[in-house]
């Protein structure tokens, strides 16, 4: 039984006392052999067009740097996990801060370490925007430092909150189904389908937003 509304996101699947919930984040790998090792198909062409489009977008954000592989891989990984969470009885890993912080914190930390060790003057210049009056410089340094430190947290919370919000709404409406009259159940089904379409769009948008923001953070370094 659910103890509260958020218990639908609790890890609960165990076999021999081993938690298998996080294995859902690796289910996206099952699609790779079909896409990459079989005869090229329409799906393969569509996928190649998507990756080429992402490569061009990220290359512009990275000031024409062609090393976009890590960001395309990040986008695909988050996208698969967001979509798999929409299926019944599949653990939604992207609705947990454990998952999202694991993605954002190491990347941000890597960019910061690289920037401060190799481009120290450039990183200091970012703390004081151009044209800032001398009186406001100490305050601007504090504000910029705080905004820089909270970046991985805001990235993680944004993705988690958006995935939780839609799932909670679907759960709330679905739990009220058995208590409704027959006429209202048909309306509820239509609303649920529309919400599922909206959640599919959110799954794509949030993975894209997460990756684009991480690309912008790296371009500053």
Higher pLDDT: 3 or 220? It is 220
Instruction: Give the predicted TM-score (pTM) of the model.
Output: 0.79
- Do residues 27 and 80 make contact, with C-beta atoms less than 8 angstroms apart? yes
Query: What's residue 117's pLDDT?
Result: 83
What is the mean pLDDT of the segment spanning 76-90?
A: 83
Higher pLDDT: 19 or 155? It is 155
Q: What is the pLDDT of residues 91-107, one digit of tens each?
A: 778 888 888 888 889 88
CA-wise closest residue to 107 among 219, 220, 218: 218
| Tokens 């992207």 belong to residue | 94
Question: Structure tokens of 59?
Answer: 């290359």
Q: Which residues pair with 52 in a beta bridge?
A: none
């Amino acid at each position: 039984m659910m103890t509260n509304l958020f218990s639908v996101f609790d890890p609960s699947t165990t076999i021999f006392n081993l938690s298998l919930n996080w294995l859902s984040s690796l289910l996206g790998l099952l699609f790779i052999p079909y896409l990459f090792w079989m005869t090229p198909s329409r799906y393969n062409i569509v996928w190649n067009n998507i990756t080429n489009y992402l490569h061009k977008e990220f290359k512009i954000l990275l000031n024409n740097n062609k090393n976009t592989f890590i960001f395309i891989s990040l986008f695909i990984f988050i996208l698969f996990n967001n979509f798999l969470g929409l299926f019944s009885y599949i653990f939604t890993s992207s609705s947990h801060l454990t998952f999202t912080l694991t993605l954002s914190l190491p990347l941000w930390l890597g960019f910061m370490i690289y920037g401060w060790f190799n481009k120290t003057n450039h990183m200091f210049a970012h703390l004081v925007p151009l044209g800032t009056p001398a009186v406001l410089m100490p305050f601007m340094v504090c504000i910029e430092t705080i905004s820089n430190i909270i970046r991985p947290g805001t990235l993680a919370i944004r993705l988690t909150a958006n995935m939780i919000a839609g799932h909670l709404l679907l759960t709330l409406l679905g739990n009220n189904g058995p208590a409704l009259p027959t006429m209202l159940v048909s309306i509820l089904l239509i609303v649920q389908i529309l919400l599922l379409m909206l959640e599919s769009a959110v799954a794509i948008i949030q993975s894209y937003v997460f990756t684009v923001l991480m690309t912008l953070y790296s371009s500053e370094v």
